[in-house]
A and B are shown apart, each in its own frame.
Chain A
């Protein structure tokens, strides 16, 4: 029994290891030749590298006040200008980028783990499906930003709470996508064969279903990263993100609202950085979707 289950493994993962590895290279190559993916990856790397290296290299404190240099427009001394406290906007914007990317990554990781788990349980075990999906529907009845606002209002404003709120808001959406794939895969012949061969539920899910259900999840997570970054900025713009003086793109823009006449760059630059990041992630998602999951291209 165990032997027959093991020999089915090859069927589930489509061929011997060498063929699998070459297919992986092929997918990678197709991604790198995809136009949107190229642009998205380039822009994303630009933001990520700036977030990592600019604070290290410049060493300018984003919270250093200097009344002498208030409202300096972008120029050679201050690349992105200064704000009402004379703080370097370059430094504040790249610190904001760090925070955005860290929060976005955590939301994606939490969704990858718990969204997959909930979706797989719901799609695989019929009894769990109905209650879990009703709960999903109920959570999805709230508009994303409002639910995130409500949860952060309840938990209190802090970076971990923002991550938690965003993860909760997007979890039902991820779980639903995983569930849809699992429902289809459950009926396939190789899964039925694995069941017939006596493989356990856990083994079937882990070895046969989940590896084949990953493509739409990866696509979703890329878009999710974009939503998470955008919603985090919205929360902190509305005054519910990380507490100032910690710079976030949202709270820099909220402060800049009072100086739209004197210093429009205080709003323009972090918002532009946010737009570039979201654009990059959307382009990456489009590329991933076209290459990994061509079915979705037709549906969406």
Chain B
């Protein structure tokens, strides 16, 4: 097991290096002059020179690159121009908000997705199956920000049940947190619910056809034991591998959902950075999210090896 973990971490090193290089390169690809964009059209050449100097852009590329890695090694992602604070600091400040929303959404995804997928597989081709698959199809096709907006129109503007946006930390007021995060979490979850339901259904169908399931039935085990113990345990293995994809989609979706519901999370931080052309913040934020995902994928792979002895003994 330890070998699998080490192997997987070592495998991620080139990816991490490339990710840092891509983020570094991306910000140097900006056509024209960053300082003109940041200083505004009325800025004087001296002001622009000062901006370039402050960002270290007046140095040769290799010096910039060395400084980039030196700063990264200290966990320093630069300073946000608009917030006047460190990128790492502002990201970590907002992180709990995004994490609580994503966790809520992930719980909805796992519950609805796996349960509806199993039900559909157990009653293949029945109306339950068809209803679940139509629901899943709608889930993967509805744009999450549109769904969010329509929920605001219905539940906030017309019915006045829930606030149109904002965020209350759950440690302060749990009910307030539920009131502000339920609509965003649902609109964020729907795509992943659809994907997960479809994947769960097809893996369950495949597993239910296996010999060991037939054996379990033949030896007279009650149906629920066959389904929950024999079939689901094996169907979960491929499902775990898609959790990485699901988390990636959650983070992507959260960028938009946080903007729709005015939730002060990392996604909103990044969107406003992009709209304000706050380049250090964009660079740092992109890298932060990418590294987070690389880390999550390593964890997923380790979980996969832990669940599936075949992977473990082959050395991953």
A-to-B contact residues, CB < 8 Å: 134-135, 137-139, 141-147, 149-151, 153-156, 226, 230, 233-234, 237-240, 253, 256-257, 260-261, 264, 267-268, 271-272, 274-275, 278-279, 282-283, 286, 297-300
Q: Report whether B277 and A153 are in contact in the complex, using a CB–CB cutoff of 8 Å.
A: yes
Which listed residue, A135, A144, A278, touches B143 by the CB 8 Å rule? A278
- Residue on A with the closest CB to B30? A154
Which listed residue, B153, B252, B271, B297, touches A143 by the CB 8 Å rule? B252
Say how far A234's CB is from chain B's closest CB, in angstroms: 6
Q: List 15 A-B contacts (CB under 8 A).
A: A139-B22, A142-B19, A142-B22, A149-B255, A149-B274, A155-B31, A234-B145, A234-B256, A239-B275, A256-B149, A260-B149, A264-B153, A267-B153, A268-B153, A275-B142
Instruction: Indicate with 1 or 0, residue by residue over B103-143, a CB within 8 angstroms of chain A CB atoms.
Output: 00000000000000000000000000000000001101111
Give bound CA distance, A299 to B274, whole Å. Answer: 38
Give bound CA distance, A256 to B249, whole Å. Answer: 26
B10 within 8 Å of A (CB atoms): no
Q: Report whether A237 and B145 are in contact in the complex, using a CB–CB cutoff of 8 Å.
A: yes
- Residue on A with the closest CB to B140? A282
Q: Which residues of B contact A230 (CB under 8 A)?
A: 143
The main secondary structure of chain A at its interface with chain B is helix
Q: Which residues of A contact B303 (CB under 8 A)?
A: none
- Residue on A with the closest CB to B294? A141
Q: Report whether B15 and A134 are in contact in the complex, using a CB–CB cutoff of 8 Å.
A: yes
Name which of B274, B289, B293 has the most chain A CB atoms within 10 A of its CB.
B274
Q: Which residues of A contact B141 (CB under 8 A)?
A: 226, 275, 278-279, 282
Q: Report whether A149 and B15 are in contact in the complex, using a CB–CB cutoff of 8 Å.
A: no
Which listed residue, B18, B29, B157, B277, touches A260 by the CB 8 Å rule? B157
Q: Report whether A299 and B202 are in contact in the complex, using a CB–CB cutoff of 8 Å.
A: yes
Given A237-B145, A267-B150, A271-B146: 19 more A-B contacts, CB < 8 Å: A142-B290, A143-B289, A144-B248, A145-B253, A145-B256, A146-B251, A146-B286, A147-B286, A149-B271, A153-B274, A153-B282, A155-B29, A226-B141, A230-B143, A233-B143, A238-B271, A253-B146, A274-B146, A297-B202
- Residue on A with the closest CB to B267? A146
Q: Which residues of A contact B21 (CB under 8 A)?
A: 138
Q: Which residues of A contact B253 (CB under 8 A)?
A: 145
- Residue on B with the closest CB to A271? B146
Q: Report whether A238 and B22 are in contact in the complex, using a CB–CB cutoff of 8 Å.
A: no
Say how far A135's CB is from chain B's closest CB, in angstroms: 6
Q: Which residues of A contact B294 (CB under 8 A)?
A: 141
Q: Which residues of B contact A234 (CB under 8 A)?
A: 143, 145, 256
Give bound CA distance, A297 to B199, whole Å. Answer: 10
B206 within 8 Å of A (CB atoms): yes
B27 within 8 Å of A (CB atoms): yes
Q: Report whether B252 and A141 are in contact in the complex, using a CB–CB cutoff of 8 Å.
A: no
Q: Report whether A257 and B149 are in contact in the complex, using a CB–CB cutoff of 8 Å.
A: yes
Question: Quick one: which of B21-76 are within 8 Å of A by CB?
Answer: 21-22, 26-27, 29-31
Q: Which residues of B contact A275 (CB under 8 A)?
A: 141-143, 146
Q: Report whether A279 and B19 are in contact in the complex, using a CB–CB cutoff of 8 Å.
A: no
Question: Quick one: which of B249-277 are within 8 Å of A by CB?
Answer: 249, 251-253, 255-256, 259, 270-271, 274-275, 277
Count B interface residues, CB 8 Å.
49
Say how far B58's CB is from chain A's closest CB, in angstroms: 20
Q: Report whether B18 and A138 are in contact in the complex, using a CB–CB cutoff of 8 Å.
A: yes
- Residue on B with the closest CB to A130? B14
Give bound CA distance, A227 to B275, whole Å. Answer: 22
Give bound CA distance, A158 to B29, whole Å. Answer: 16
Given A146-B270, A260-B149, also A141-B290 (CB < 8 A):
yes
- Residue on A with the closest CB to B164? A260
- Residue on B with the closest CB to A137? B15
Give bound CA distance, A246 to B15, whole Å. Answer: 39
Q: Which residues of A contact B30 (CB under 8 A)?
A: 154
Give bound CA distance, A141 to B153, whole Å. Answer: 35
Q: Which residues of A contact B22 (CB under 8 A)?
A: 138-139, 142
Q: Report whether A240 and B15 are in contact in the complex, using a CB–CB cutoff of 8 Å.
A: no
Which listed residue, B29, B150, B282, touches A268 by the CB 8 Å rule? B150
Give bound CA distance, A66 to B142, whole Å. Answer: 32
Q: Report whether B19 and A138 are in contact in the complex, using a CB–CB cutoff of 8 Å.
A: yes
Q: Which residues of B contact A142 (CB under 8 A)?
A: 19, 22, 286, 289-290, 293
Q: Which residues of A contact B145 (CB under 8 A)?
A: 234, 237, 253
Q: Which residues of A contact B252 (CB under 8 A)?
A: 143-146
Which listed residue, A138, A143, A151, A253, touches B15 by the CB 8 Å rule? A138
Q: Which residues of A contact B286 (CB under 8 A)?
A: 142, 146-147, 150
Say how far A41's CB is from chain B's closest CB, in angstroms: 15
- Residue on B with the closest CB to A274? B143
- Residue on A with the closest CB to B11? A137
Q: Report whether B152 and A260 are in contact in the complex, using a CB–CB cutoff of 8 Å.
A: yes
B198 within 8 Å of A (CB atoms): yes
Give bound CA distance, A138 to B198, whole Å. Answer: 27
Q: Report whether B29 and A154 are in contact in the complex, using a CB–CB cutoff of 8 Å.
A: yes
Give bound CA distance, A154 to B29, whole Å. Answer: 7
Q: Report whether B31 and A156 are in contact in the complex, using a CB–CB cutoff of 8 Å.
A: yes
Q: Which residues of B contact A226 (CB under 8 A)?
A: 141
Q: Report whether B206 and A298 are in contact in the complex, using a CB–CB cutoff of 8 Å.
A: yes
Give bound CA distance, A135 to B293, whole Å. Answer: 16
